[in-house]
Amino acid sequence: MGSIVLFLGILLFSFILTSMAVVPFINLLYQLKFRRAQQETTDAFGKRTPIFDKFHKSKAGVPVGGGLLIVLLVSTLFALMIPLLNYFGIEITSLHQNNQVEINVLFFTFLSFAILGLYDDLKKIFSFENTKFFGLRLRQKLILQVVLALIISFMLYFQLGISILHIPFIGTFELGWVYIPFACFVIVAFTNAVNVTDGLDGLASGLLMVGLFGLWILSSSILDVPLSIFIALWLGSLISLLYFNIFPARLFMGDVGSLAFGATLAVIGLLLGKIFTLLIIGFIFVLEISSSLLQLLSKKYFKRKILPAAPLHLTLQERGWDEPKIVQRAWLIQIMLTLFGLWLAFI
């Protein structure tokens, strides 16, 4: 009971602090002209995306950087929270023997992918595509994601000793060194899945909020204090952001948020040893990235589209669904997926 009170208090503290900072932060973004630009977008092959442009034209001028605020606040609070708990003599228990390595993994994932996402935001907002440094192509950015994911995977395998895969109703499998490329794939996949899903007001942030509550319950049930504190801080900030991110959005997460949040979501699943649960909780993210991937492959090899538009939420918009309708129904589905994932995790 004491742990639950502590974690809830941390969540509320994070929510209040973010709520106090978010409006001045939005004003600062306006002053810095850190806003979504009005420009024609292209797909991975450099071709125009008229359907995307049609539905997102009205979003030009909205500040981008909600993810940056969350990363800065959560990282700062998390860095202060653990020493503070040690000072007051509160025991820091964890699923893993080395608490510090787990903390390092969370910090490295959150911050490194945020920096990569910040690069993307700067490129889009200030049109730096033609400069030497900011001219990285999609393939080069993907390579950077793989490098970061490999570093994290090595830390998980060699420093924390994580190398198993548990599948409900089937059993637990020792992957050995194969765990490293497996974990790398999971991290990169979820990084891009959340990034692709972050296309409608409140969609990705709402799905993350619900999914994180499920993972928070799991981490709290095994008394993994560092992970529970991190998720509590993240949730508090995310709920505050969501108030300004729902339709019509006054603030976007940006790639700094979607890349950092997607990678960290995957790492939390890996730290908990609940990959199958992560796939269930993150099913909508997986569905969104899969629809985009299939669309790209179909256009490249068969010269035709299998969907009117990709990712899936754009197809629903093209068929006449209103943006809030898509988002709200996705949230409802996410609630049931999270409950199902939790049920599988506890059996």
Helix/strand/coil for 37: coil
For 338, phi then psi, to 5°, come to -65, -45
Helix/strand/coil for 89: coil
Q: What local confidence, expressed as pLDDT, does residue 50 receive?
A: 66
Q: What local confidence, expressed as pLDDT, does residue 49 receive?
A: 62
Query: How far is residue 266's CA from residue 278's CA, in Å, rounded to a whole number?
Result: 7
Query: How confident is the model over 101-115, as a mean pLDDT?
Result: 97
Return the structure tokens found at 31: 């002053």
Q: How many CA atoms lie within 13 A of 71 on its CB side?
A: 29
Q: Considering the chain, what percentage of its residues have pLDDT values greater than 90?
A: 72
Indicate the pLDDT class of residue 44, thresholds 50, 70 and 90: very low
For 318, phi then psi, to 5°, come to -65, -30
Query: How confident is the model over 57-79, as a mean pLDDT?
Result: 93
Query: How far is residue 281's CA from residue 334's CA, in Å, rounded to a whole number?
Result: 7
For 171, phi then psi, to 5°, come to 145, -175
Extract the runs of DSSP E, i.e. beta strands, from the chain: 164-167, 171-174
Query: How confident is the model over 35-40, as a mean pLDDT?
Result: 66
Q: Give the tens place of pLDDT for each residue, 201-233.
A: 999 999 999 999 999 999 999 989 999 999 999
Q: What local confidence, expressed as pLDDT, does residue 132 receive?
A: 46
**Domain ranges across the chain:** 2-346
Helix/strand/coil for 24: helix
- pLDDT at position 339 over 90: yes
Query: How confident is the model over 27-49, as a mean pLDDT?
Result: 69
Q: Considering the chain, what percentage of its residues have pLDDT values greater than 70?
A: 91
Place of tokens 């729902």: 246
- pLDDT at position 115 over 50: yes
Model confidence, pTM: 0.94
